[in-house]
Protein backbone atom coordinates (compact mmCIF):
# COMPACT_ATOMS: atom_id res chain seq x y z
CA UNK A 1 0.00 0.00 0.00
CA UNK A 2 1.19 3.48 -0.84
CA UNK A 3 1.60 5.91 2.05
CA UNK A 4 2.77 9.06 0.25
CA UNK A 5 -0.36 10.09 -1.65
CA UNK A 6 -0.64 13.33 -3.55
CA UNK A 7 -3.50 15.66 -2.67
CA UNK A 8 -5.44 14.78 -5.83
CA UNK A 9 -5.01 11.07 -5.25
CA UNK A 10 -6.17 11.33 -1.64
CA UNK A 11 -9.26 13.35 -2.57
CA UNK A 12 -10.00 11.04 -5.50
CA UNK A 13 -9.84 7.88 -3.41
CA UNK A 14 -11.79 9.45 -0.55
CA UNK A 15 -14.43 10.68 -2.98
CA UNK A 16 -14.68 7.30 -4.68
CA UNK A 17 -14.93 5.52 -1.36
CA UNK A 18 -17.56 7.76 0.20
CA UNK A 19 -19.67 8.71 -2.81
CA UNK A 20 -19.61 5.48 -4.77
CA UNK A 21 -19.48 3.33 -1.64
CA UNK A 22 -22.71 4.99 -0.48
CA UNK A 23 -24.26 4.66 -3.95
CA UNK A 24 -23.30 0.98 -3.96
CA UNK A 25 -24.90 0.56 -0.53
CA UNK A 26 -28.14 2.19 -1.67
CA UNK A 27 -28.19 0.12 -4.85
CA UNK A 28 -27.69 -3.07 -2.82
CA UNK A 29 -30.56 -2.09 -0.51
CA UNK A 30 -32.75 -1.46 -3.55
CA UNK A 31 -31.88 -4.84 -5.06
CA UNK A 32 -32.77 -6.56 -1.81
CA UNK A 33 -36.02 -4.60 -1.50
CA UNK A 34 -37.15 -5.41 -5.05
CA UNK A 35 -35.69 -8.86 -5.77
CA UNK A 36 -35.64 -10.92 -2.58
CA UNK A 37 -38.76 -13.14 -2.41
CA UNK A 38 -39.73 -12.37 1.20
CA UNK A 39 -41.93 -9.75 2.83
CA UNK A 40 -41.03 -6.14 1.99
CA UNK A 41 -39.96 -5.21 5.53
CA UNK A 42 -37.75 -8.31 5.84
CA UNK A 43 -36.16 -7.61 2.45
CA UNK A 44 -35.46 -4.01 3.40
CA UNK A 45 -33.94 -5.04 6.73
CA UNK A 46 -31.81 -7.60 4.90
CA UNK A 47 -30.65 -4.91 2.50
CA UNK A 48 -29.80 -2.44 5.24
CA UNK A 49 -27.97 -4.95 7.43
CA UNK A 50 -26.34 -6.86 4.58
CA UNK A 51 -25.45 -3.66 2.77
CA UNK A 52 -23.21 -2.39 5.54
CA UNK A 53 -20.39 -4.85 4.72
CA UNK A 54 -20.85 -3.91 1.05
CA UNK A 55 -20.40 -0.24 1.95
CA UNK A 56 -17.31 -0.90 4.07
CA UNK A 57 -15.88 -3.17 1.36
CA UNK A 58 -16.41 -0.45 -1.25
CA UNK A 59 -14.51 2.06 0.87
CA UNK A 60 -11.70 -0.42 1.49
CA UNK A 61 -11.47 -1.19 -2.21
CA UNK A 62 -11.27 2.50 -3.09
CA UNK A 63 -8.47 3.11 -0.60
CA UNK A 64 -6.48 0.01 -1.55
CA UNK A 65 -6.90 0.26 -5.34
CA UNK A 66 -3.83 1.05 -7.43
CA UNK A 67 -5.22 4.18 -9.11
CA UNK A 68 -8.02 6.64 -8.52
CA UNK A 69 -9.51 5.97 -11.96
CA UNK A 70 -9.67 2.25 -11.27
CA UNK A 71 -11.49 2.84 -7.97
CA UNK A 72 -14.07 5.07 -9.67
CA UNK A 73 -14.54 2.69 -12.60
CA UNK A 74 -14.90 -0.51 -10.57
CA UNK A 75 -17.23 0.94 -7.92
CA UNK A 76 -19.22 2.84 -10.55
CA UNK A 77 -19.62 -0.29 -12.65
CA UNK A 78 -20.77 -2.35 -9.68
CA UNK A 79 -23.28 0.34 -8.75
CA UNK A 80 -24.49 0.55 -12.34
CA UNK A 81 -25.02 -3.19 -12.53
CA UNK A 82 -27.08 -3.19 -9.35
CA UNK A 83 -29.14 -0.20 -10.49
CA UNK A 84 -29.69 -1.94 -13.83
CA UNK A 85 -30.91 -5.04 -12.01
CA UNK A 86 -33.36 -2.96 -9.98
CA UNK A 87 -34.68 -1.22 -13.10
CA UNK A 88 -35.01 -4.56 -14.87
CA UNK A 89 -37.00 -6.07 -12.02
CA UNK A 90 -39.21 -3.00 -11.64
CA UNK A 91 -40.03 -2.34 -15.30
CA UNK A 92 -39.32 -5.44 -17.41
CA UNK A 93 -39.86 -8.56 -15.31
pLDDT tens digits for range 48-84 = 999 999 999 999 998 888 889 999 999 999 999 999 9
Say whether pLDDT at 2 is over 70: no
Question: Three-state SS for 4?
Answer: coil
CB 55 within 8 A of CB 27: no
pLDDT tens digits for range 37-49 = 888 889 889 899 9
- The pTM for the full model equals 0.84
Q: Which long-range contacts (CB under 8 A, 24 or more apart) does 9-14 make?
A: 9/68, 12/68, 12/71, 12/72, 13/62, 13/63, 13/65, 13/68, 13/71, 14/62
Amino acid sequence: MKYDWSTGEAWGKAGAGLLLGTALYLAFCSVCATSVPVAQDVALALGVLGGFPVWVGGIYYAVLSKTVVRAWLVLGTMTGLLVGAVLYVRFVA
